[in-house]
């Protein structure tokens, strides 16, 4: 079955425009507070390489926590099953930056997508790579097929200036022996990975390897094995949306990941990858319009994993 995705995007956007956007920009990170709250973009890439877009899909935005899937992919590729000795795969059931849960779990984060888990993955990559920041951004550029993608020093610095809880998380894990490198080095890597800026098109292209059985479709290079691809998609399904992962699975039915920059990327294996961007966040920290859009999209197309 084929769809006129561009027309579907317009129909859904008009529908969600009639509902009140109750979201709020993530202004606790100063550099994100100045983004135009009315922006909205979407881009879909089908498994056969066709592109469909709507709205502000070519504007750069900070992908924030979406980058955690990419650090996990690279660490899993390099570290194999040893990775899971230091981080779990369960939904957290608590806020993504909870110190209480981390203390209870003796410094082992529940999953790689909460802040503590991403900090452990960052620590692993610092140990595994000779030039961690450079090698990681090169990995992202290869996945996105865009050599211009880079860190944003302004956003990284802005996050560093207010990153007290992240500093507390990494120090707590260091006290339990689950951080090997210097705390400042781990935080610097983490703040930089969250600062990466992409367009919806970039983001959808970057995640196509997870929709294509671990193979980057343009180059044909295998990024991850089938088994590892399945497992990362499973963690996105259960842990990709903070405390709203169950709601996203229930209403949308796709593996995906959100970020507080307002971006969401989701995919249907062997079918497509879709990325949305709308800066206003709901109370759970996910894009208000993005969540609504993807719910209506999978309802209208009947294309989800369920």
Catalytic annotation, residues: 65, 68, 190, 242, 260
Of 266, 260, 305, the C-alpha closest to 283 is 260
Q: In what order do the strands lie in the sheet with 41-46?
A: 51-55, 41-46, 272-277, 263-268, 256-258
Q: How many CB atoms lie within 10 A of CB 268?
A: 19
Q: Please say whether the beta carbons of 47 and 211 come within 8 A.
A: yes
CA separation, residue 153 to residues 62, 65, 70, 188, 191 (Å): 11, 16, 19, 11, 9
Q: For tokens 């991403």, what's the residue?
A: 118
- Give every CB contact of residue 124 below 8 A, 6+ residues apart in sequence: 75, 79, 83, 86
CA separation, residue 39 to residues 17, 213, 246, 282 (Å): 12, 32, 26, 15
CA distance 212 to 4: 22
């Amino acid at each position: 079955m084929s769809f006129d995705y561009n027309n579907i995007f317009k129909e859904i956007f008009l529908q969600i425009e009639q509902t009140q956007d109750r979201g709020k920009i993530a202004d606790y990170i100063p550099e994100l507070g100045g983004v135009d709250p009315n922006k909205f973009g979407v881009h879909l890439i089908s498994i056969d390489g066709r592109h469909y877009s709507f709205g502000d899909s070519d504007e750069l935005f900070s992908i924030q926590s979406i980058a955690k899937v990419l650090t996990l992919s690279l660490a899993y590729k390099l570290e194999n099953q040893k990775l899971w000795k230091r981080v779990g795969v369960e939904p957290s059931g608590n806020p993504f930056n909870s110190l209480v849960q981390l203390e209870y779990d003796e410094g082992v984060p529940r999953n790689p997508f909460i802040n503590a888990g991403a900090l452990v993955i960052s620590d692993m990559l610092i140990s595994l790579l000779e030039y961690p920041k450079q090698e990681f951004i090169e990995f992202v550029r290869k996945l996105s097929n865009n050599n211009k993608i880079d860190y944003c020093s302004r956003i990284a610095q802005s996050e560093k200036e207010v990153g007290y809880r992240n500093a507390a998380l990494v120090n707590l894990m260091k006290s339990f022996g689950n951080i090997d490198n210097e705390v400042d080095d781990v935080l610097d890597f983490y703040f930089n990975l969250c600062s990466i800026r992409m367009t919806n098109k970039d983001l959808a292209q970057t995640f196509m390897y997870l929709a294509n059985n671990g193979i980057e479709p343009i180059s044909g290079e295998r990024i991850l094995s089938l088994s590892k691809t399945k497992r990362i998609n499973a963690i996105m399904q259960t842990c990709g949306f903070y405390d709203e992962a169950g709601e996203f699975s229930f209403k949308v039915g796709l593996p995906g990941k959100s970020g507080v920059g307002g971006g969401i990327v989701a995919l249907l294996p062997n079918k497509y990858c879709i990325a949305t961007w709308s800066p206003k966040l709901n109370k759970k920290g996910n894009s208000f319009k993005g969540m609504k859009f993807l719910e209506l999209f999978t309802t209208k197309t009947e294309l989800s994993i369920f």
